[in-house]
Amino acid sequence: MTEPTGHMIIAGEAVAGSGATIRAVDPSTGAALEPPFGYGDAGDVERACAAAAAAFGPYRRTTPVRRAEFLERVADNIEALGDALVERAHAESGLPVARLTGERGRTTGQLRMFAKLLRDGDVEVPRIDPALPDRTPPRPDIRQRWVPLGPVAVFGASNFPLAFSVAGGDTASALAAGCPVVVKGHDAHPGTSELVARAIADAVAASGLPAGTFSLLFGHGPDLGTKLVTDPRIRAVGFTGSRTGGLALVAAAQARPRPIPVYAEMSSVNPVFPLPGALAERGAEIAAGFVGSLTLGAGQFCTNPGVVVAVDGPALRAFANAAASAVAACEPSTMLTPGIADAYRRGVAALAAHPSVEVLAQGVEHDRPAACRPALVATDADAFVADEALREEVFGGCSVLVRCRDAEQVRAVAAAMEGQLTATVHAAESDHAEAAELLDVLELTAGRVLFDGWPTGVEVGHAMVHGGPFPSTSDPRTTSVGTLAVERFLRPVAYQDVPTALLPSAVADGNPDGLLRRIDGRPGRH
């Protein structure tokens, strides 16, 4: 089936929600899209969570290879949806087909990456401290492996209808860890969500897994979302979205009788620091790259470069002029939803009205309700540090240039900023001494520090960190992109003097799973 039917998918079954009805909107035309989708209610949450809890036992006991085959099936099924999936996602999000084709590749690539991690036996590194019977007192045999936390609730993001949504990174890493998943789909792309959910549910069935391994619900965030997060069977939450939404989920999760971890990726302005040598050497090139990154996908990336911090002077003025010209020439881009476009316009207007802000450029004027004009504004470092309104994220293609007196003030601005997903430095060879001092600040502020590039475009791999200190995420100790993300859904358990016949294979004698393990701390495939 390649057309959405307006259903939730609960433990393999198509369920029509009995609540309020929503339709996706094509943001490029404002037209409502068929079919209608009914919101789910408390009974649907109950049913999905009960099924997930029932699935947890059998699912967590599957072998890593079986979970790998399942994830690969999900990827295959998503690809089998063909153009229909990309077209539906395009209609619902306004994102270009080429971008969505790339995003689909990223989504299936992530699923296969976690499958490979499972096949390679690299989800966890068990530890074994063998018994020392002759020690005084004798040391028992202690073995440690990692077990999945339990059913995970995932909240789809608006800005990545595939890669951070129903079968996105949170879902893939939770399933890899051995956790059933209940997704709350985003209202902006219900049809895309249903199609992907069917791809997952079909893979669940074809893999002979319990149907409750996966469910998709629709519903009102503060109502159904809170019900989902506070259901006692849910044991962790993955979220990508606004700071308000993320903090509400954290508060709900903390208020439970048994609190659970929430991995919320929320808010980041992703500062860029072009240093004097780099500006002098290649200011025009940096300006072009900056505006390209700022306006990519209508600026709707978590890693969009929303702040530029540099020492004022002729080189920065030349950079600002070049960037302003490029911004002024930008045609309007369609945003994901009319509501997001409204919020963007309000954010830019508030900045423009700020007494310490000068508007350097805005893109070409237009009258399309769901489109945006990129914007570049400027302020000075003292004002930026003094007023947090200037440091808040405006979701979309808007950036604030912060002019500093000297390198020391650049570092002071960096230190005054809240936690960030990324921080970017542009440095010539002559800037390296200063860059080293700045790096020392930025590695404490951001999850990823990059040089001479742009923060948009998050590579999926082993070393990536898509995370960072609060408020960029609610938990800086991890990442939502890359293989490390699987650790979010695991916890360690120690087995002391457990009889050989009863030991889990991950910590069994002879290493039957071929895992990297630490024996008395010493790592090896032993």
Catalytic residues: 265, 302
Q: Alpha carbon of 396 to those of 266, 301, 346: distances in Å?
A: 14, 8, 11
Residue type at position 388: E
Beta carbons of 422 and 450 less than 8 angstroms apart: yes
Applying CB under 8 A, does 117 fall inside the site for a second copy?
Answer: yes
- Name which of 367 and 497 has its Cβ closer to a second copy: 497
Q: Which residues 406-445 are close enough to bind a second copy by CB under 8 A?
A: 418-419, 427, 432, 435-436, 439-440, 443-444
- Name which of 343 and 503 has its Cβ closer to a second copy: 503
Q: Which residues 124-143 are close enough to bind a second copy by CB under 8 A?
A: 125, 127-129, 137, 139-140, 142-143
For residue 304, give the 3-state DSSP assignment.
coil
Report how far residue 374's alpha carbon sits from residue 351's, in angstroms, rounded to the nearest whole number.
Answer: 13
Give min distance, CB of 200 to a second copy, in A: 24
Give min distance, CB of 49 to a second copy, in A: 16
Q: What is the CA radius of gyration of the chain?
A: 24
β-pairing verdict for 398-404 and 375-380: parallel
Give min distance, CB of 402 to a second copy, in A: 21
Give min distance, CB of 227 to a second copy, in A: 20
Q: Which stretch binds a second copy (CB under 8 A): 3-11, 122-130, 203-211, 219-227?
A: 122-130
Residue type at position 224: L
Of the candidates 40, 94, 150, 297, which one interacts with a second copy according to CB under 8 A? 150
- Name which of 251 and 329 has its Cβ closer to a second copy: 251
Instruction: Count the residues of the shown chain that bind a second copy, applying the rule CB under 8 A.
Output: 77
Mark residues 344-363: x for contact with a second copy by CB under 8 A, - for none. --------------------
Report how far residue 186's alpha carbon sits from residue 156's, in angstroms, rounded to the nearest whole number.
Answer: 5
Report how far residue 524's alpha carbon sits from residue 4's, in angstroms, rounded to the nearest whole number.
Answer: 49
Q: What's the burial of 284, exposed, middle or buried (CB within 10 Å: 0-12/13-18/19+)? A: middle
Give min distance, CB of 381 to a second copy, in A: 21
Q: Which stretch binds a second copy (CB under 8 A): 202-210, 342-350, 376-384, 457-465?
A: 457-465
Q: Which residues 52-81 are close enough to bind a second copy by CB under 8 A?
A: 57
- Name which of 123 and 360 has its Cβ closer to a second copy: 123
Query: b/e string for 114-146 if b means 16 or more Cβ within 10 A?
Result: bbebbeebebbebbbbeeeeeeeeeeebbbbbb
- Name which of 117 and 381 has its Cβ closer to a second copy: 117
Applying CB under 8 A, does 521 fall inside the site for a second copy?
Answer: yes
Q: Which stretch binds a second copy (CB under 8 A): 158-166, 202-210, 350-358, 515-523?
A: 515-523
Report how far residue 230's alpha carbon sits from residue 64's, in angstroms, rounded to the nearest whole number.
Answer: 29
Of the candidates 8, 275, 449, 486, which one interacts with a second copy according to CB under 8 A? 449
Of the candidates 147, 288, 343, 383, which one interacts with a second copy according to CB under 8 A? 147
User: What is the total residue count of the chain?
Assistant: 526
Q: Alpha carbon of 453 to those of 124, 288, 315, 422: distances in Å?
A: 32, 12, 19, 11
291 CB-near residues (< 8 Å, 6+ apart):
323, 326, 327, 330, 374
Of the candidates 111, 237, 307, 465, which one interacts with a second copy according to CB under 8 A? 465
Q: Which residues 241-280 are close enough to bind a second copy by CB under 8 A?
A: 250, 254, 258-259, 261
How is residue 71 annotated by DSSP? Answer: H
Give min distance, CB of 250 to a second copy, in A: 8
Crossing angle of helices 169-177 and 64-80, rounded to 10°: 150
Q: Which residues 475-504 are close enough to bind a second copy by CB under 8 A?
A: 475-479, 483-484, 490-499, 501-502, 504
Q: Alpha carbon of 234 to those of 156, 178, 220, 242: distances in Å?
A: 16, 14, 18, 21
- Name which of 364 and 494 has its Cβ closer to a second copy: 494
Q: Find out whether the peptide bond into 210 is cis, omega within 30 degrees of 0.
A: no
Of the candidates 288, 343, 352, 450, which one interacts with a second copy according to CB under 8 A? 450
Give min distance, CB of 301 to a second copy, in A: 15
β-pairing verdict for 214-217 and 181-184: parallel
Beta carbons of 385 and 414 less than 8 angstroms apart: no
- Name which of 20 and 436 has its Cβ closer to a second copy: 436
428 CB-near residues (< 8 Å, 6+ apart):
275, 277, 278, 280, 281, 282
Give min distance, CB of 61 to a second copy, in A: 8
- Name which of 389 and 493 has its Cβ closer to a second copy: 493
Applying CB under 8 A, does 332 fall inside the site for a second copy?
Answer: no
- Name which of 67 and 448 has its Cβ closer to a second copy: 448
Q: Which residues 189-248 are close enough to bind a second copy by CB under 8 A?
A: none
Give min distance, CB of 113 to a second copy, in A: 9
Q: Where are the alpha helices (DSSP H) in 32-152?
A: 42-60, 64-80, 83-93, 97-119
Of the candidates 390, 447, 511, 513, which one interacts with a second copy according to CB under 8 A? 447
